[in-house]
Amino acid sequence: MRSFWLLVAEAVGDAFRRRIVGGVAIAGLLSIAMLESCTGCTPSINVNGEVRELVEVRGAFGFTTFLVLGLWGIALAGVLASDHLRSTLDDGSASLFLARPVPRESFALARLTGVMGVTTVAGGIVLGIAAFLLATRSGLPVAPALSAAGACALGALTVATLAMAASLVLPRAVTVLLVLGSVGMVALANGVAPFANDAGWLAAIDRVGPPLASSMALALAPWLEGVAIPGDGVRLAARGVAWAIAALLALVFAFRRVELGR
């Protein structure tokens, strides 16, 4: 276990030193600035021909905002993971670590922890400020935001792990496109399938895929007034955990089979 924690410290430090972290910080700051601006104004808006104050749709606004930010965090984890392990194979640095009595799974999971470290800090700050602004300015309760943040973290872990496993066999650009496409597709399926009579393959994705958006949406449901979100929270959580475990097993299995230094 000691070697695992040494590798975790190294991988987290390495993740925070990457150039992409600057881009993540800028994206996070822009999100916070938009949130600050949007929660600070009180415009009148037109809903189905009826003029309403923003405060009347604050739940829907908070719901949508938090959901989009959560999906941003999930996609971010996948993008960061798309080369955090692969790069060590490409530059040969993995050989220096794995020439020590270090199990391969320790190395892979430590690199994953590095990705989750950056994601947790970035996502935690953005979602935390969002929850704070929505609570103090729009009066929305904080508890649903905490539950949704937990669901977001589980989704981020799943996507990052799958992206890391995919990166062992795919080029980085393809892995990034796969991450963005998959997160978008699952979010679309989660958003459309529960309300459509015949959603076809989107319904299949919604039923068996990782509940990336649906678990967050269900957690945030108390913010919506007069709109019921279908779904069983416990079953969604169980499916989310099952996907995370399956993803971790896939990563360990794939990394054990990788040949180093060729």
Q: Which residues bind other proteins (CB under 8 A)?
A: 2-3, 6-7, 10, 14, 17, 91-93, 95-104, 259-262
Spatial CA neighbour of 135 closest among 213, 223, 227: 223
Give the shortest CB-123-to-other proteins separation in angstroms: 25
d(CA 181, CA 212): 13
User: What are the residues whose beta carbons fall under 8 Å from the beta carbon of 43, sequence distance 6 or more?
Assistant: 54
d(CA 183, CA 241): 17
**Closest to other proteins by CB, 108 or 189:** 108
Asked if 218 contacts 231 with a C-beta cutoff of 8 angstroms, the reply is: yes
Give the shortest CB-106-to-other proteins separation in angstroms: 8
Q: Which residues pair with 44 in a beta bridge?
A: 53
**Closest to other proteins by CB, 92 or 200:** 92
d(CA 156, CA 41): 31
- DSSP annotation string for 122-156: HHHHHHHHHHHHHHHHH---SHHHHHHHHHHHHHH
CA 223 to centroid of chain Cα atoms: 21
> What is the bridge-based pairing of β-strands 44-47 and 50-53?
antiparallel
Six-digit token string for 75: 């996609």
Spatial CA neighbour of 73 closest among 14, 110, 128, 33: 128
- Is 130 strand, coil or helix? helix
d(CA 17, CA 71): 24
**Closest to other proteins by CB, 14 or 56:** 14
Q: At residue 47, what are phi and psi to the nearest 5 degrees?
A: -120, 110
d(CA 247, CA 98): 22
Give the shortest CB-257-to-other proteins separation in angstroms: 9
**Closest to other proteins by CB, 103 or 230:** 103
**Closest to other proteins by CB, 15 or 126:** 15
